[in-house]
Amino acid sequence: MSRTKIGFFDSGIGGISVLSHARRRLPGADYLYYADTDHVPYGTKSRGEIIRYSDEAVGFLAEQGADAVVVACNTATSMAIGYLREKYPFPIVGMEPAVKPAAAAHQGEKILVCATPVTIAGEKLHTLIEHNYASDDLPDLIGLPGLVTFAEQEIFDRGDVCKYLASVIDKERNYSAVVLGCTHFGYFSDSFRELLGDIDLIDGTKGTVNRLISVLESEHIPLPADEEGCMTFYQTGRPVTDPKTLAFFDRLLARAEKFQN
């Protein structure tokens, strides 16, 4: 029996943070990771472009034999998940900013939701907020496209990152929690804490992997857990073989793991 293949897709390297968690929970699967390097960032693109690129990515993963796909990108989920689910026959798990768990854990407290400009402006997020917050107690919303650029360039230096964050986040708002509504943002947990103190940082990684597991179970997709599966990376459909890029992805897996612990 061939091993279960799970496809992951993000505009770039953000979804590697979700892949890292999935691999720990489901070591027996084979993973295909598609970073749409030619088109990153999605967070400032039109809905039509995001649907087109997401379709190309998921179509590619389908050709490689994915049994299920995780759209490890809040922006692509916000714009394209309905289209993708209608088009493809296998399960597709999306990601959305973890507004619901943040509301449950921090009732009546000041929350900041950060994501890409497209996610922040999107109807999906506003509907999610309406369902989870009273109209006189809404969270603050902010787009942080600069963090996507930093992550893609592997700039994690707290000095540079905190300077950027301080220029866009008002720390006098005394937030109790920050929702990291973009998969690129989890790599900067240290900088968020340096600027805002020991706040609760909430992202959708664990919830997404829980959802993936329950979808695989309900679809009777087998998960042999005995021996570790393999990981294959693609950049906009081209297999990644160059050792420098693979080493970069390894560093991201390690960084994601460090912050998830």
Between 43 and 229, name the residue whose CB sits nearer to ligand DGL: 43
Given 5, 7, 8, 14, the residue binding ligand DGL (CB under 6 A): 14
Q: Give the nearest residue (CB) to ligand DGL.
A: 43
Helix (H, G, I), strand (E, B) or coil at 203: strand
Between 55 and 109, name the residue whose CB sits nearer to ligand DGL: 55
Task: Pick the closest to residue 97 from 127, 55, 134 (CA basis).
Answer: 127
CA distance 190 to 147: 13
Indicate whether 209 belongs to the interface with ligand DGL (CB under 6 A). Answer: no
Given 6, 9, 10, 179, the residue binding ligand DGL (CB under 6 A): 10
Q: Which residues contact 118 (CB under 8 A, 6 or more apart)?
A: 42, 43, 44, 45, 47, 50, 75, 78, 79
Can 73 be counted among the known catalytic residues? yes
Can 162 be counted among the known catalytic residues? no
2 near 224, Cβ under 8 Å?
no
Indicate whether 208 belongs to the interface with ligand DGL (CB under 6 A). Answer: no
172: left (phi over 0), alpha (psi -120 to 50) or beta: alpha
Given 54, 119, 208, 235, the residue binding ligand DGL (CB under 6 A): 119
Q: Tokens at residue 196, please?
A: 């805002």
Task: Give yes or no for a cis peptide into 89 (omega within 30° of 0).
Answer: no
Given 20, 75, 189, 235, the residue binding ligand DGL (CB under 6 A): 75
Given 4, 74, 189, 191, the residue binding ligand DGL (CB under 6 A): 74
Minimum CB–partner distance for residue 28 and ligand DGL (Å): 26
> What amino acid positions are annotated as catalytic residues?
73, 182
Q: Which residues bind ligand DGL (CB under 6 A)?
A: 10-12, 14, 40-43, 73-75, 116, 119, 148, 182-184
